[in-house]
Amino acid sequence: MTAPDPRTTGTPSDPLSVGLDRPATSPEQAQPAQPAQPSGPGRTRQAAGTVGRGLALGLLIFVTVVLVLFVVFNGQTVRISLVFTDVDAPLVLALLIAAVLGALVGWLLHLVLRTRRRHRS
């Protein structure tokens, strides 16, 4: 006489009932594994990028505040000498036009440099 297989729970004539009433693994093994925290250069680069963005934002806010204060305290009218004519305009307007033109030049320079980097790689 042979002992019944401990893995079976049903009758020996039912091959589909083998081991269906007990879990395949222990409860400790059934817990999903915790996702691994990213480490190495990717995480360092992400933290450095966050710090860089924070510094850039802080610098942008500082420059904006200084520009606004400068414009507010310089409200007199000035003569602007263009290539073909002279114009009398408020200093505020001249400063704002200069700031917008400077931002436009910086943005265009950024686009050119980014395009160069993409073509190199």
pLDDT of 92 reads: 83
pTM for the model stands at 0.41
Report pLDDT for 91: 86
Residues 6+ apart with CB under 8 A from 93: none
d(CA 42, CA 21): 45
- The kind and range of the H/E element at 103 are helix 91-120
SS3 at position 94: helix
Which tokens sit at 92?
Answer: 């505020």
Please provide the average confidence, as pLDDT, over all residues in the chain. 76
Q: Which residue has the higher pLDDT, 21 or 113?
A: 113
Give residue for tokens 């934002």.
57
